[in-house]
Chains A and B, each alone.
Chain A
Amino acid sequence: MGSYSTNEFRSGMKVMLDGEPCAILDNEFVKPGKGQAFNRVKLRNLTTGRVWERTFKSGESLEAADVMDHDMEYLYTDGEFWHFMEPNTFEQHQADAKAVGDSAKWLKEQDTVVVTLYNGSPLAVTPPNHVELEIVQTDPGLKGDTAQGGTKPATLSTGAVVKVPLFLSEGEVVRVDTRTGEYLGRAKD
């Protein structure tokens, strides 16, 4: 991999810092008229998710990180690993709990997700923004109670628990925003 100089830093670029793969979020050029130029850079550590600011002298460079996002199909989990497949090459990858993290509760078999590979191994898994999942457990539905604004917890097929309107019942399929965990509506057949 090559390296990037501070003046090439762009948001979204993946670099190695202190031995960890990081994504650049923001790069601000700071310079007194008659003095040293700096770049104040905001980064996200792709392993831990931590965001922080590091200042460089302008002109310093960082090694590019071998990090790529791939669209893959989620196949199944064996309890220890989650298995994904590249749709074109049929190549399979297994991700551990650390890489899958909170995304696990949104993974439905055959859905297409983004798998971030670092040196060829899954580093993170990002579910689609919207998923459609079946309610497997919730209190009985209240017929005709569509006007009232109340909600109740419902457990979905993947194990996620979301707040849904009172009139929904088990077996129905709902649409959920995975970024916020919010119920968006009933899935259309």
Chain B
Amino acid sequence: MMTTPDWQPSADMPLLRARAQLYAQLRTFFAERRVLEVEVPLLARAAATDPHIDSISASVCGELLYLQSSPEFFLKRLLAAGSGDIYSLGKAFRNGEAGRRHNPEFTMLEWYRLGWDDQQLMDEVEALIVRFCAPSGISRCSYRDLFERHLGIDPHKADAEQLSMLARQHIDADWQDNDRDVWLDLLMTHVIEPAMGEGLVFVYDFPETQAALARVQPDEQGQSVAKRFEAYVRGVELANGYFELTDAEEQASRFCRDIEQRKRLGLPLYRSDEKLVQALNSGLPDCAGVALGVDRLLMLSSDCDDIRRSLAFAFERI
């Protein structure tokens, strides 16, 4: 892809200027809305337990620490301490993620709104995205409706066998898996995302098993769903938001479940964040939060189809 010598930047000057301008405009967006910018550490003693997120470890002052895969835990501790609405614009790190849309070190915008739910936060995410890239259309669709429309299947009811058979009609994939979520992820990334079209699409009410840190509630059909949403522009996943889980006990048990799954999959085990559980115990206000990939926003707003060209120095050139 890159033909210039290795010491040269990956991004050209217009993109570096566009990035600087984007940061200034993002800060204006939140200043107008009286959301406070906060800066939180990139290093922490705990790491995300999510089995699909691999943290990068660092040896610091004789201790094993982790570069944060998102600022979420620190931000929630600030919220529990009474910060009010806050946002963070900074780096996040994920091991093993490199490609056309991924860099192991990337820029994440994450913000929280007190007293809001996921639908209200979607309105604000929409306002932000529309300001930077003009999507050809805007739509909202539940995870169930999306799968029914594109694949004619109910993603909450179908079993692993049905999902794997459906996936194999579209994709050459020959492994065996009893994990429904693997097949749902495969269908989402390989079949649905490429067919989403040019517009901004919000997908909400995710399967309960993909709740991550969102609260779980019954939907209008009585199905337990995660109050979680994703925003896609031109089929590119741009933001992931939650009506946040505030129940400390439920949070602690989700950490345990993640750790059990990590053991089953033979993945590295990290200390879960006890300070987050303590913060939730002391009282996290009801809120909705979202994390948005800023490099991808820059790509979408400047017609760049490779994340490496949006970075001063991509992973290959550091």
Contacts and interface: CB of A to CB of B under 8 A. Distances in A.
Given A34-B50, A37-B52, A55 B186 contact: yes
18 contacts: A29-B99, A29-B102, A30-B189, A31-B102, A32-B189, A33-B230, A33-B291, A34-B53, A35-B52, A35-B185, A36-B185, A52-B172, A53-B172, A54-B172, A55-B171, A55-B172, A55-B190, A58-B96
Nearest to A41: B172
A57 B99 contact: no
A75 to B, nearest CB: 39
A31 B97 CA distance: 8
A37 B190 CA distance: 12
Interface in B180-195: 181-182, 184-186, 188-190
Interface of A: 7, 28-38, 40, 52-58, 60
A8 to B, nearest CB: 12
B7 interface: no
A36 B186 contact: yes
A109 to B, nearest CB: 38
Interface of B: 50, 52-53, 96-102, 171-175, 181-182, 184-186, 188-190, 210, 212, 230, 237, 240, 291, 293
Given A30-B189, A30-B190, A35 B181 contact: yes
Contacts of B100: 28-29
Nearest to A6: B96
Contacts of B99: 28-30
B172 A38 contact: no
Q: 7 tightest A-B contacts by CB?
A: A29-B99, A35-B185, A36-B185, A55-B173, A54-B172, A36-B182, A30-B189
Contacts of B189: 30-32, 35, 38
Contacts of A54: 172-174
B52 A36 contact: yes
B53 to A, nearest CB: 8
Contacts of B237: 32-33
Given A37-B52, A37-B97, A32 B185 contact: yes
Given A29-B97, A37-B96, 17 more contacts: A28-B100, A30-B190, A31-B189, A32-B230, A33-B291, A34-B212, A34-B240, A35-B184, A35-B188, A38-B186, A38-B190, A54-B174, A55-B172, A55-B186, A55-B190, A56-B175, A60-B175
A57 B97 CA distance: 13
Nearest to A33: B240
A36 B187 CA distance: 11
A155 B215 CA distance: 75
Contacts of B53: 34
Nearest to B98: A29
Nearest to B70: A33
A55 B237 CA distance: 19
B150 to A, nearest CB: 15
Contacts of B190: 30, 38, 40, 55
B294 to A, nearest CB: 13
Contacts of A31: 52, 97, 102, 189
Interface centre among A28, A40, A55, A56 (most CB of B within 10 A): A55
Interface centre among B98, B99, B100, B184 (most CB of A within 10 A): B99
A35 B190 CA distance: 13
A57 to B, nearest CB: 6
A45 B294 CA distance: 39
A56 to B, nearest CB: 8
Interface centre among A34, A37, A38, A54 (most CB of B within 10 A): A34
A33 B99 CA distance: 13
B102 A35 contact: no
A159 to B, nearest CB: 38
Contacts of B181: 35-36
Nearest to B293: A33
Nearest to A43: B172
Nearest to B179: A36
B173 A35 contact: no
